[in-house]
């Protein structure tokens, strides 16, 4: 088992499952495994080659495995100096509520801290704010709101 020292501080809250999982920082994780866990939480299908490219271009990738299956995942992109943004934080539904999400967040934040990145942002599904607040995330105190532009595709 690979658990960071920061996560071990919360051993009294860890479920027995956490004694059986493996944590990886490997960016070359199989895109089909990423696709599978993302679809398990209801996200849309993505091209495996695009997932592979996204993983390669990420500054941090964390995956949690149990019995050969990916049960937790997150990745971060950024400039590798000033900031990073966490994306694709997912825990397989049958593993939710057992500490896997907390483990993924601790590990990705530790990875970014190890790299000296001071500002970390994320995009959260509605209703998940409380989970992320436990890790120190806040809505922007200055009232700045994210804006989005999605490509219309090529004609």
Residues shown for the chain: 155
- Please answer whether residues 86 and 76 qualify as being in contact, where contact means their C-beta atoms are separated by less than 8 angstroms: yes
Rounded alpha-carbon distances, angstroms, from residue 116 to 35, 39, 144, 151: 29, 32, 24, 32
Q: How many CB atoms lie within 10 A of CB 147?
A: 5
- Please answer whether residues 31 and 45 qualify as being in contact, where contact means their C-beta atoms are separated by less than 8 angstroms: no
For the question of residue 132 being annotated catalytic, the response is: yes
Q: Catalytic pick from 10, 87, 131, 132?
A: 132
Rg, C-alpha atoms of the chain: 16
Active-site amino acid positions: 132
């Amino acid at each position: 088992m690979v658990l960071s020292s920061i996560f071990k501080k919360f051993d009294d809250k860890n479920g027995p499952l956490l004694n059986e999982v493996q944590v990886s920082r490997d960016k070359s994780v199989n895109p089909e495994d990423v696709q599978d866990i993302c679809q398990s939480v209801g996200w849309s299908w993505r091209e495996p080659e695009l997932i592979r490219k996204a993983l390669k271009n990420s500054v941090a990738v964390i995956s949690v495995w149990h019995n050969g299956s990916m049960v937790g995942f997150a990745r971060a992109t950024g400039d590798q100096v000033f900031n990073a943004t966490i994306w694709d934080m997912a825990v397989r539904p049958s593993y939710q509520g057992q500490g896997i999400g907390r483990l993924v967040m601790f590990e990705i934040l530790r990875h970014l801290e190890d790299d000296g990145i001071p500002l970390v942002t994320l995009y959260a599904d509605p209703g998940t704010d409380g989970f992320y607040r436990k890790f120190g995330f806040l809505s922007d105190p200055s009232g700045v709101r994210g804006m989005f532009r999605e490509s219309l595709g090529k004609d």
